[in-house]
Amino acid sequence: MSRFYVNLPLIPDEVLELPMDVVRHILVLRHKINDNIVLFNGDGTSYNAKIVGISRKTVEVKITEQIKNNHSEKLNIHLLLCIIANDKMDLAIQKAVELGITEITPIISERSQKLHTDKIAKRMEHWQKIIISSCEQCGNNIIPKLNHPIKLDKVCANPDGINLIMSTTEGNPQQQSYIPKLVQLLVGSEGGFSQTEQVCGFVPLMLGNLIFRSETAVIAGLSYVQLKYGNW
């Protein structure tokens, strides 16, 4: 069943007119009156709805049921990702959401892709759309938080969680005697980090003997985190 995000209150038995961006999507999918869809607004649940009115510019639905099936992850995962080329950044964010992150922070490092100040707002809006689209696809009812980009020297290890940094040379974190509530994963840009860049408090994580591209490192690293500490 098609899923759509709406930034509106969702109340069972109420009739709701959907936002224009959702209307366009519904029309592209050729939905008709009496079709059933699923809506969510980030409150942790989803809502069954039936299309009761449709035209070229409007779609009205009736909320029929609230579903208490939160598919969000119990483990909080914060991805700190150095900014990479646009298409690769898009892919990394998409897969990170599908793999259960709860928060993402774009990182500016010496070798990261340049992000001009006047372009930040536009890129943030673009990344937010990817996050929402990925939640629609994967069934997560809570929208991961997108933080404003920060410089690498502002990255801090969280003393109450596990802090990992993807490495190509060393790293095999020891098994923890407890299940953490938070894992931070730091992934560098193409070429990794320079010799002058240091991040204190992060444990190196090396997976195999091959060198990953940044977007692959995101997928591999998050898969490791979910297998090791999550609910996989």
Q: What is the pLDDT of residues 56-91, one digit of tens each?
A: 999 999 999 998 765 555 799 999 999 999 999 999
Q: What is the pLDDT of residues 141-195, one digit of tens each?
A: 999 999 999 999 999 999 999 999 999 887 766 666 677 889 999 999 988 888 8
* CA-CA-CA-CA torsion sign (82, 83, 88, 90): positive
* CA-CA-CA-CA torsion sign (46, 9, 90, 107): negative
User: Do residues 39 and 10 make contact, with C-beta atoms less than 8 angstroms apart?
Assistant: yes
Q: Which residue ranges form the domains of the chain, and what is each CATH number?
A: 3-67 (2.40.240.20), 76-229 (3.40.1280.10)
Q: What is the pLDDT of residues 106-142, one digit of tens each?
A: 999 999 998 888 889 999 999 999 999 999 999 999 9
Q: From CA 155, how far away is CA 41, in angstroms rounded? A: 30
Q: What is the pLDDT of residues 19-48, one digit of tens each?
A: 999 999 999 999 999 999 999 999 999 999
Q: From CA 1, how far away is CA 205, in angstroms rounded? A: 39
Neighbours of 226 (CB within 10 A): 18
Q: Which residues contact 75 (CB under 8 A, 6 or more apart)?
A: 100, 180, 181, 182, 183, 225, 226, 229, 230, 231
Alpha helices in 70-176 (DSSP H): 86-98, 120-138
Residue 14: HSE in the Cβ half-sphere, 13 Å Cα cutoff? 10
Q: From CA 163, how far away is CA 40, in angstroms rounded? A: 31
Alpha helices in the chain (DSSP H): 20-28, 86-98, 120-138, 214-229
Nearest to 49 by CA among 30, 65, 67: 65
Q: How far is CA 164 from CA 11, 37, 58, 200, 213, in A?
A: 41, 39, 47, 11, 17
Collapsing DSSP to helix, strand or coil, 19 comes out as coil
Q: How far is CA 224 from CA 71, 92, 95, 105, in A?
A: 19, 15, 14, 19
Q: Output the average pLDDT for the chain.
A: 92
Per-residue pLDDT at 225 exceeds 90: yes
User: Do residues 36 and 1 make contact, with C-beta atoms less than 8 angstroms apart?
Assistant: yes
Q: What is the DSSP pairing of strand 3-5 with strand 15-17?
A: unpaired
0.85 exceeded by pTM: yes
